[in-house]
């Protein structure tokens, strides 16, 4: 109700063709923490851990103006000397975005770069807090350059199709 009222007020304040980009909601879709070697793992020194991270981005259109963007992060942290797992975190963190009057050619970049860039600090915080709640030091995943990932994906797709990526 309040969101609809705010959207209508925004429409009155902005001309009808002005692009609109707003975060409507951020939420957890799925969260998993595994500590397969507890409690013995806490009795041994950790040393420098071996980190394996997988990141995925998905999006889907909800209606004419709203999109859901989901960041999926799987982090497996192991003792580097023994390859014994310390913990595994799997997170699906999503957001609903209001995207109105965004030119069609810019929509892929907005969904793959702008939306995840806004969400990522919150995703990092969730992962850090879960690692602490699991009995470990805060685990901060490295920042991600979503624009570089997007450009690399566009280049790969263009190469597969045998053409140059558009600028």
Q: Which DSSP string corresponds to the chain?
A: -HHHHHHHHHHHHS-TTS-EEEEEEEEEEEEEEE-TTTTGGGGS---SEEEEEEEEEEEEE-SSSEEEEEEEEEEEEEETTTTEEEEEEEEEEEEEEEEES--TTTHHHIIIIIHHHHHHHHHHHHHHHHHHHTTS----PPP--HHHHHHHHHHHHHHHHTSPPP-
- Which domains occur in the chain, in start order? 20-161 (3.10.420.10)
- Per-residue pLDDT tens over the stretch 45-78: 777 889 999 999 999 999 999 999 999 999 999 9
72-101 residues labelled b (16+ CB within 10 A) or e (exposed):
bbebbbbbeeeeebbbbbbbbbbbbbbbbe
- pLDDT band of residue 106 (cuts 50, 70, 90) is very high
Q: Rounded to an integer, what distance in angstroms lies between the CA atom of residue 46 and that of residue 131?
A: 14
- pLDDT of 140: 92
- Per-residue pLDDT tens over the stretch 115-158: 999 999 999 999 999 999 999 999 999 999 999 999 999 899 88
Q: Rounded to an integer, what distance in angstroms lies between the CA atom of residue 150 and that of residue 61?
A: 19
- pLDDT of 158: 85
pTM of the model: 0.82
- pLDDT of 43: 86
Task: Calculate mean pLDDT across residues 86-110.
Answer: 96
- pLDDT of 8: 58
pLDDT > 90? residue 101: yes
């Amino acid at each position: 109700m309040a969101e609809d009222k705010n959207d209508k007020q925004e429409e009155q304040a902005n001309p009808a063709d002005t692009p609109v980009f707003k975060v409507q909601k951020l939420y957890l879709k799925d969260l998993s923490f595994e500590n397969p070697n507890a409690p013995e793992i806490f009795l041994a020194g950790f040393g420098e851990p071996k980190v394996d991270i997988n990141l995925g981005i998905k999006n889907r259109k909800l209606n004419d103006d709203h999109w859901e963007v989901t960041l999926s992060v799987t982090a497996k942290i192991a003792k580097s000397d023994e390859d014994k797992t310390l913990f595994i975190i799997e997170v699906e963190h999503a957001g609903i975005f209001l995207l109105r009057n965004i030119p069609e050619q810019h929509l892929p970049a907005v969904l793959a770069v702008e939306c995840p860039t806004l969400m990522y600090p919150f995703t990092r915080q969730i992962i850090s807090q879960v690692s602490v709640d699991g009995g470990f030091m805060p685990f901060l995943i490295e920042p991600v350059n979503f624009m570089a990932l997007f450009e690399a994906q566009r280049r790969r797709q263009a190469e597969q199709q045998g053409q140059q990526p558009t600028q």
